[in-house]
Amino acid sequence: MFFLPVLFLGPLLYFRRNARFAAELAAVALGILFVFAGPWYVRNVVLYRSLSATTDSTTGIGARVLLDSAIKLPWRQSIAGMAHSALWTGNNSFTTFSALTLNVMLALFIVAGILYVQRFRGSPAEIVTVSAVALYAAALVGISLAFFSSSQGAMITPAPWYIPLLFAPAMALCFLGLMRWPRIGRWIAVASVLLCCYIAVATWIVKLVPLYGGYPYARAHARQL
């Protein structure tokens, strides 16, 4: 539901000189969603009297409760937790990974993001992608508030599987920014790719394979492995 504005924004940006054709494309996209997803939302209305049937809409969590949660939620820890879980969840095993490694990875992406913002060109594809990222980020904020409220403060982040959907488009924008800064961008890109490869290799060889083989510890030590 948070992505619905993109259905209209995309065609209007790409076919701004042909408003009628853009409106037809948006109508077709909305029709496809209505046919395939419509029955689910009708079910939500019938069973829960709520279009989204989310926790906050079905348990009486209103705007005042969410505003109170927004004030009380520790945003710095929440954002840090979401950022780390976006990079690594260990196949939902939730075993630990080196915080230093993940922090270096985040630092590289932050620098790349800053470089992208400085040379943002405003093409239709970029506007649509940035808009989708912003809309999903807003959804994550809403989910965080709902979880924080319904758990009475026990959960300060959404479940980790909500986060990786944001990772691919955000990484694409970051690498687009690196491409527009050839000298510094090349080295940051190489470092990012190598570090991602290390995380992937270490995930399987040092984390998941030993875990599935019965290794009982969260952190891997060479002698015990």
203: tokens are 């995930």
**Residue 147 has what pLDDT?**
85
- The closest alpha carbon to 149, from 50, 58, 41, 49, belongs to 58
**Residue 60 has what pLDDT?**
65
Stretches in the chain below the pLDDT threshold 50: none
Instruction: Give the other-Cβ count within 10 Å of 149's Cβ.
Output: 22
Phi (first) and psi of residue 47, to 5 degrees: -85, -40
- Dihedral in degrees, nearest 10, Cα atoms 142, 145, 150, 155: 120
Half-sphere exposure of 187 (CA within 13 A, CB side): 3
**Residue 56 has what pLDDT?**
62
pLDDT in tens, 37-56: 899 989 988 988 888 777 66
**Residue 58 has what pLDDT?**
63
